[in-house]
Amino acid sequence: MPYHTFKCSECIPERAMHAVIKGPGEDLTSCLPLGYLNTIPGTISERGCAFCGAKHVIGAPMKDVIHLCHGPVGCTYDTWHTKRYISDNDNFQLKYAWTTDMKEKNVVFGAEKLLKQNIIDCFKAFPHIKRMSIYQTCASALIGDDINAVAKKVMEEMPDVDIFVCNAPGFGGPSQSGGHHKINIAWVDQKVGTFEPEIKSKYVINYVGDYNIQGDAEIIVDYFQRMGIQVLSTFTGNGSYDDLRGMHLAHLNVLECARSAEYICNELRKRYGTPRLDIDGYGFEPLSASLMKVAMFFGIEKEAQDIIDEEIARWKPELDWYAKRLKGKRICLWPGGSKLWHWAHVIEEEMGVKVVSVYSKFGHQGDFEKGVARCSEGALAIDDPNELEGIEAMEILKPDCVLTGVRPGEVSKKMRIQYLNIHGYHNGPYKGFEGWVRLARDLYNAIYSPIHQLSGLNISKDEIPTDKGFVTRKMISDVNIIEDGKTPIEERPYTGECDIVTRLRGKKYPKLEPQQPLGMVMEGGEAING
Amino acid sequence: MDDVMKDRIEQLVDFIMKWCLWQFHSRTWDRERQNEEILTKTMQLLCDEPLDLSTPSDRCYWVDAVYLANGFKKTCPWLDTMDKKDIKLLMQGLKERIDYLTINGSLNQELTNPLY
């Protein structure tokens, strides 16, 4: 059987089916861990809660919105700013955090009056912002505050404002994934169809499931705009509240991250007939295929091919430089979310590194199906790992680098295993052709860091050599590379700029002419644009 | 089904698992539709048969089918040596195998959950 029992979890037999090793001939009918179940008492999970999934992951990347948490201040603090979902309106959503700061007396006597006053105060403090999301927390849900009624009352009193209510308290699911589900459905129930954005192109999409970490979404939107496609909304990275109310007018939903956002795509498919196209946004080959698929849907293949050719010609020599030096290195791919399957195969194909383990803290079995299917034999897949299991996995697998978030990353550093932050990113964006090279560069810098080599010395007892010079990255990484006449001379380390996103914001694109509605008849016979 | 056919089907399965995502929608009913629509259109492309592209959904399935057909041709040169009758048999076998891996034999306990 492919199930793997960690020594540290032998006393917790319920963990027996939460880790698998993909053996020879194993497929998804024999090798799949359990997933998205209640965390087992006795094992300390590193998961976030449903409120965190709704507010921190999905809702808060919306840029022109006051994101008010109705609960104790700690809930807000724990969901603030640990992901760098930047925006092109001066990072309004990152600069401020709003909370009603419920106290004991509010729990006893109710907090609806407190909430109403806070909403009004928020709008007065930021008079140029007319949109708000209110997030329920465990405290306000347990006492039964009727947030919807309060929001409705304020909207009657202040007709120029619009408020979205997200009822996803922390206990609303076994992990943050429960919050993803709730906010998706709440948005489509409450807001989609209540605003009519201007349609400017014959080709209109929603780009769904990207949260603009260090500008990821803006990189992809640039490609689409160069193709003449109108990106009606980005759900929800750098997304505008009103654009997201108009999602029903798109011709196609392009979905990047399944479990955080497939719910809204499925609802839009059911209610408005908008088809859903799942894409990979990382890696040269998958990204090229993704751009071409979207182009084919609209019949604009040449526009996509021109971009693919240009980007690959510019960036492939730099990716190849790193791939040559990263070949054979071993990584644990522990992202927690969708990079589990976005990267499992392509990072091996295009950078030569071997993925020896994948994990997710809140992934469903469907997420693991994708990851396990794409991993090579021998990979260890772990659902909802705790810190001890992570440590044991690193001791067994001996990776050169762990790609993960801050908390497990700090643990790996203490074990003298380098880590790369692929939640908030070290030096992203990592999406797009150039972004993929930036990831390779960060991986290279991590694995071959001279400081990392020195960190193993114990200055209190080790003999410190004083007759040797400082070892550079090149001295370590290039020892096995044979330069010969076949080596392409154009291969080189990364030559891009530090900030590759800001310059996109003033960029001019082919002018789009306002379009008459297409009146396309979708599934179920509904005319969605007429 | 002979060993050659089985081996060829596994090569096609490997391509789908590594390079596609459409086969992993969340629920059984959705996977059944995805597998049927995309693999049927792929078969039609490989056999030079006409395709129905009358709805946006059809175009969406067709997009994935074109990617699949091109990928199959690129990675499996033996496809060129097969006649259309055998390609249809191959694609039928592929459909059954993908249905088994993603639906009938799947260990995913959420596939029949009435919610998403």
Contact A275 B19 (CB under 8 A): no
Neighbouring-strand partners of residue A233: A206
Coil, helix or strand at residue A342: helix
Chain A interface disruption, residue of B107, B109, B111, B113, most A CBs within 10 A: B107
Q: Tell me the chain A residues in contact with residue B69 when contact means C-beta distances shorter than 8 Å.
A: none
**B25 domain-assigned:** yes
**Cα gap A407→A395, rounded to integer Å:** 18
Nearest to A386 by CA among A414, A361, A362: A361
pLDDT recorded at residue A515: 65
**B111 domain-assigned:** no
Mean pLDDT is lowest, of A24-28, A214-218, A361-365, A461-465, for: A461-465
pLDDT recorded at residue A521: 42
**B112 domain-assigned:** no
Contact B17 A374 (CB under 8 A): yes
Nearest to A118 by CA among A140, A138, A91: A140
Using the predicted structure, report yes or no on whether residue A519 has a pLDDT greater than 60: no
**B38 domain-assigned:** yes
Nearest to A186 by CA among A206, A167, A207: A167
B4 touches chain A (CB under 8 A): no
Alpha-carbon gap: A438 to the closest alpha carbon of chain B (Å): 22
| Domain extent at residue B49 | 3-103
Say which of A278, A296, A374 has its CB closest to residue B18: A374
* For B102, nearest residue in chain A (alpha carbons): A28
* For A250, nearest residue in chain B (alpha carbons): B56
Residue with more model confidence, A80 or B13? B13
- Please write the tens of the pLDDT for every residue from A288-323: 999 999 999 999 999 999 999 999 999 999 999 999
Alpha-carbon gap: B63 to the closest alpha carbon of chain A (Å): 6
How many inter-chain contacts (A to B, CB under 8 Å) are there? 96
Count of domains forming chain B: 1
Domains of chain A as residue ranges with CATH: 50-191 (3.40.50.1980), 196-279+497-529 (3.40.50.1980), 315-478 (3.40.50.1980)
A140 touches chain B (CB under 8 A): no
pLDDT recorded at residue A524: 38
Contact A370 B109 (CB under 8 A): no
A373 touches chain B (CB under 8 A): yes
pLDDT recorded at residue A525: 35
Residue A526: pLDDT band (50, 70, 90) is: very low
Residue A523: pLDDT band (50, 70, 90) is: very low
**Cα gap A525→A521, rounded to integer Å:** 6
- A286 contacts: CB under 8 Å, gap ≥ 6: A279, A280, A342, A346, B19
- Please write the tens of the pLDDT for every residue from A436-476: 999 999 999 999 998 888 888 888 888 887 887 778 888 88
Contact B55 A266 (CB under 8 A): no
B97 touches chain A (CB under 8 A): no
- Please write the tens of the pLDDT for every residue from A485-511: 677 889 999 999 999 999 999 899 987
Contact A28 B106 (CB under 8 A): yes
Token duo for residue A490: 């154009």
Alpha-carbon gap: A163 to the closest alpha carbon of chain B (Å): 26
Q: Within a 13 Å sphere around the CA of A491, how many CA atoms are in the beta-carbon half?
A: 13
Alpha-carbon gap: A371 to the closest alpha carbon of chain B (Å): 9
Q: Tell me the chain B residues in contact with residue A262 when contact means C-beta distances shorter than 8 Å.
A: 25-26, 116
Alpha-carbon gap: B84 to the closest alpha carbon of chain A (Å): 25
Token duo for residue A489: 């001379």
* For B15, nearest residue in chain A (alpha carbons): A374
pLDDT recorded at residue A514: 67
The DSSP code sequence of A134-180 is EEE-HHHHHTT--HHHHHHHHHHH-TT-EEEEE---TTSSSSHHHHH
- Please write the tens of the pLDDT for every residue from A400-428: 999 999 989 999 999 999 999 999 999 99
- Please write the tens of the pLDDT for every residue from A261-291: 999 999 999 999 999 999 999 999 999 999 9
Mean pLDDT is lowest, of A40-49, A66-75, A239-248, B70-79, for: A40-49
A292 touches chain B (CB under 8 A): yes
**B110 domain-assigned:** no
Alpha-carbon gap: B73 to the closest alpha carbon of chain A (Å): 15
Question: Mean of the per-residue pLDDT values for chain A?
Answer: 93
Residue A59: pLDDT band (50, 70, 90) is: very high
Strand order in the sheet with A66-70: A98-99, A66-70, A131-136, A162-166
pLDDT recorded at residue A217: 98
**Contacts within 8 Å (CB) and 24+ apart, A394-397:** A394/A332, A397/A330, A397/A332, A397/A356, A397/A357
Token duo for residue B109: 């306990």
Alpha-carbon gap: B5 to the closest alpha carbon of chain A (Å): 17
**B109 domain-assigned:** no
Q: Tell me the chain B residues in contact with residue A278 when contact means C-beta distances shorter than 8 Å.
A: 21-22
Chain A interface disruption, residue of B59, B66, B115, most A CBs within 10 A: B59
**Cα gap A492→A479, rounded to integer Å:** 17
Contact B55 A521 (CB under 8 A): yes
Using the predicted structure, report yes or no on whether residue A517 has a pLDDT greater than 50: no
Using the predicted structure, report yes or no on whether residue A255 has a pLDDT greater than 80: yes
Residue B115: pLDDT band (50, 70, 90) is: confident
Alpha-carbon gap: A295 to the closest alpha carbon of chain B (Å): 9
Contact B22 A278 (CB under 8 A): yes
A17 touches chain B (CB under 8 A): no
pLDDT recorded at residue A485: 67
